[in-house]
Structure 1
């Protein structure tokens, strides 16, 4: 599960061929041992828990990088390498 971005202690990952459980485009997020899954491009939290401030940061980052995330999703579901995305600054 490659990391595609890291910022403020948050690690964003995208799994290859990960369409069974959530059945829609999404990212996996880790922060201090906590994990959550967020839909893209909506930013809706599908599963897990993070502190409210971190949820907002992830949602802002998703909004800023919607096109890149969807391009990465298209690659990942085909099992192709994904590219890094700039962190939130």
Structure 2
């Protein structure tokens, strides 16, 4: 699963698989925490993160929503997703 962004110890990944299930989403890893975020709504679908990291991830997702949708389209076509600027 390619890493598309890393910031403040948070790793953002997207499965590189045409069979990945909808809705469009990405995976977040922070220490022992894991979560999946819906790209369209910028909400956590499953898993959990500390409150501060939730705010950072959702702010990043809103800023890069178009790029995330484009990456989702790439992985649905069996192509590798592109890197996305980290939150600064």
Q: TM-score range by the shorter chain?
A: over 0.9
Matches of 1:47 and 1:15, distance apart in 2: 16
In structure 1, the residue matched to 2:8 is 8
Task: Look up the SS of the partner of 1:16 in the other structure.
Answer: coil
Deviations 1:24-76 (A, max 9, x none): 10000000121000000311101101001100100000000011100000001
Gaps in structure 2 of 5+ consecutive residues = none
Rounded to whole Å, the distance in 2 between the matches of 1:63 and 1:41 is 9
Distance 1:37 1:2 in 2: 15
1:3/1:11 contact within 8 Å kept: yes
Q: Which runs of 4+ in 1 moved over 4 A?
A: none
Question: Secondary structure in 2 aligned to 1:4?
Answer: strand
Equivalence for 1:24: 23
Alignment-derived partner of residue 40 in structure 2: 41
- Give the secondary-structure state (helix, strand or coil) at the position aligned to 1:28: strand
Aligned length in residues: 87
* TM-score, length of structure 1 as denominator length: 0.92
Structure 1, unmatched stretches of 5+, are none
With the length of structure 2 as denominator, give the TM-score of the two structures.
0.93
Matches of 2:40 and 2:87, distance apart in 1: 16
